[in-house]
């Protein structure tokens, strides 16, 4: 499943160079992942309540273009690799309208048992929706 | 008691106009209050653990000057009015070096019982250190 | 004229207490003012290009309720007092759905000549749209 | 040359999970790069004034540990690969005291001609100080 959210770039989200700072892209992508899991019928909060945590262990992000105040961005999120205890999610940011791709990232997330704080196999009810297609 | 912290203005803390955004001043002041209560021998976290919460109910802030990347700021914090369940704290931000005052604010904080979420009298062990002099 | 924007509270916009931090309210309100002036047919950027700047000199904000991740907020903006060189804007934040008011603020903005950096009379083409009704 | 800056984790820099959010690490690292170039006798602002810009094109970051409010972090920055128009900088974040490494990243930066907005060879006066040793 691939999911998309729309984000307007706000005035306080651009830096002194007038464009969205590289760190902010990661926030936009986190918002995308939150929505993605929610649209699949779950939320990270609910998973936490069941004792299932997630830890981001690596992000590899390409910056392909600049974003400015007033731009409407589309963040697309989809799973690309499902391991035993981890998943790799691919995310891309596009400018609405022109369709120009301004960023692409691979985000590696490990599932952990909230009590032991150690990695755990991804539960089967999640494997189904996290399966790359 | 008046306490001071030093804050260097960082690159991602200035906005597209090249100066510290008005909202960021409130963060700097919160950092000042955190340190102020800590220097008095307490922390908001410890108070929470004892069931004592604080809620900011009003901030009245004057913006007197601009701050730029690389500036070293001094945030000064002191109590000016102690009520039964609330306190008014005065905070000011100065530029280190020139001593220019760039902001002044009154922050009104109410103490609440974390269980009932209702206002509670300020505990006597706190009244002493929060007393304006 | 009163204008409204909708803002979803994002995961990275809540603090360690799980609610929107007091400083973030000011960012939301700035986003509201940006949109408000834009809906009136102008933008702060265009005004800057014409040599007309604005400086926020005071914000007096009441915090009336907490906001959480996933809340949809409505920020309403309208002028309440028009002076020779300054304007007072009233802004309020509501939770969509319940309609609960979570914040109210008065923001005082001074118009400045970008060259001299001194206050200037508000241009007549702006006075019309900034007039409280 | 390797340079180090110290950063205290502030209350508004931790997210709803109580730890520093993955995006904030990138801001800390940018602060480290700003200081690193400054300690070498330059600043990105001065370079911009000379028509020399820098664009971050890739960040590959490992998250190795969590950071909490009150932690003092050390961000270390050093060049590891110098190309014709680009440089790879290695950055790591440690907790002061324990010395625990909480993050490591490779940041690839391309130098651009601010007029043409195209990549340009790194000027010789910069090559010297950017040379990995």
Q: What is the pLDDT of residue A97?
A: 93
CB-CB contact of C76 with B71 (8 Å): no
What are residue D17's DSSP bridge partners? Answer: none
The two three-digit tokens of residue C22, written as one number:
């007091």
Q: What distance lies between CA A40 and its chain's CA centroid? A: 14
Q: What is the pLDDT of residue A2?
A: 92
Average pLDDT on B9-30 reads: 95
Q: Chain C within 8 Å of B49 (Cβ-Cβ)?
A: no
The model's pLDDT over B41-66, given as tens digits with 9 standing for 90+, comes to 888 888 999 999 999 999 999 999 99
Q: What is the pLDDT of residue D44?
A: 86
Instruction: List subunits contacting chain A, requiring 3 or more Cβ pairs under 8 Å.
Output: B, C, D
Which candidate from B11, B27, B31 shows the least CB-CB separation from D30?
B11
* Per-residue pLDDT in tens (0 to 9) along chain D, 133 residues: 899 999 999 999 999 888 999 999 999 999 999 999 998 888 888 899 999 999 999 999 999 999 999 999 999 999 999 999 999 999 999 999 999 999 999 999 999 999 998 999 999 999 988 999 8
Query: Does position C129 have pLDDT exceeding 90, yes or no?
Result: no
Taking Cα atoms as reference points, which of C53, C110, C116, C55 lies closest to residue C84?
Answer: C110
What are residue B75's DSSP bridge partners? Answer: B5, B93
For residue B69, list chain D residues with Cβ-Cβ distance below 8 A. Answer: 45
Tell me the CA distances in angstroms from C30 to A9, A86, C89, C92, C117, one per residue in order: 13, 40, 11, 12, 21
8 Å CB contact of A24 and D23: yes
Q: Chain A within 8 Å of C10 (Cβ-Cβ)?
A: yes
**C33: confidence class by pLDDT, cuts 50, 70, 90:** very high
Virtual CA dihedral for A68, A13, B18, B108, nearest 10 degrees? 150
Q: What is the pLDDT of residue D93?
A: 98
Q: What is the pLDDT of residue A17?
A: 87
Block residue for tokens 């005065």: B90
Q: Chain D within 8 Å of A13 (Cβ-Cβ)?
A: no
Q: What is the pLDDT of residue C133?
A: 82
Q: What is the pLDDT of residue C44?
A: 86
The model's pLDDT over B67-112, given as tens digits with 9 standing for 90+, comes to 999 999 999 999 999 999 999 999 999 999 999 999 999 999 999 9
Average pLDDT on A82-107 reads: 97
Question: Parallel, antiparallel, or unpaired for β D101-113 and D86-95?
Answer: antiparallel
Q: What is the pLDDT of residue C102?
A: 98
Which candidate from A11, A12, A16 shows the least CB-CB separation from B18?
A16
Q: What is the pLDDT of residue D79?
A: 96
Taking Cα atoms as reference points, which of B61, B64, B50 lies closest to residue B101?
Answer: B64
Query: Does position A44 have pLDDT exceeding 90, yes or no?
Result: no
Taking Cα atoms as reference points, which of D25, D84, D86 lies closest to residue D58?
Answer: D86
**A129: confidence class by pLDDT, cuts 50, 70, 90:** confident
CB-CB contact of C33 with C106 (8 Å): no
8 Å CB contact of C21 and D12: yes
Q: What is the pLDDT of residue B71?
A: 97
What are residue B7's DSSP bridge partners? Answer: B73
Going from N- to C-terminal start, the domains of chain D cover: 3-130
- Euclidean distance between CA atoms C103 and C63, whole angstroms: 5
Q: Chain D within 8 Å of A22 (Cβ-Cβ)?
A: yes
How confident is the prediction for chain B on average, in pLDDT? 95
Q: Chain A within 8 Å of B21 (Cβ-Cβ)?
A: yes
Domain spanning A3-130: CATH superfamily = Hotdog Thioesterase (3.10.129.10)
**A81: confidence class by pLDDT, cuts 50, 70, 90:** very high
8 Å CB contact of C12 and D15: yes
Q: Chain B within 8 Å of D6 (Cβ-Cβ)?
A: no
Q: What is the pLDDT of residue B36?
A: 94
DSSP symbols for B77-92? EEEEEE-SSEEEEEEE
Most A CBs within 10 Å: which of D12, D13, D19, D22, as the mutation test of the A interface? D22
- ipTM field: 0.95
Q: What is the pLDDT of residue B129?
A: 87
For the ranges B60-69, C46-55, C68-77, the lowest mean pLDDT is seen at C46-55
């Amino acid at each position: 499943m691939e999911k998309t959210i729309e984000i307007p770039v706000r005035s306080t989200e651009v830096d002194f160079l007038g464009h969205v700072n590289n760190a902010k892209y990661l926030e936009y992508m986190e918002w995308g992942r939150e929505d993605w899991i929610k649209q699949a019928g779950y939320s990270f909060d609910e998973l936490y309540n069941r004792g299932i945590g997630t830890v981001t262990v690596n992000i590899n992000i390409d910056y392909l273009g600049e974003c400015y105040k007033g731009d409407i961005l589309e963040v697309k999120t989809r799973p690309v690799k499902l391991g035993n205890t981890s998943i790799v999610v691919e995310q891309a940011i596009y400018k609405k309208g022109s369709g120009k791709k301004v960023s692409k990232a691979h985000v590696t997330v490990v599932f952990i048992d909230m009590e032991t704080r150690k990695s755990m196999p991804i539960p089967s009810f999640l494997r189904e929706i996290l399966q790359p297609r």
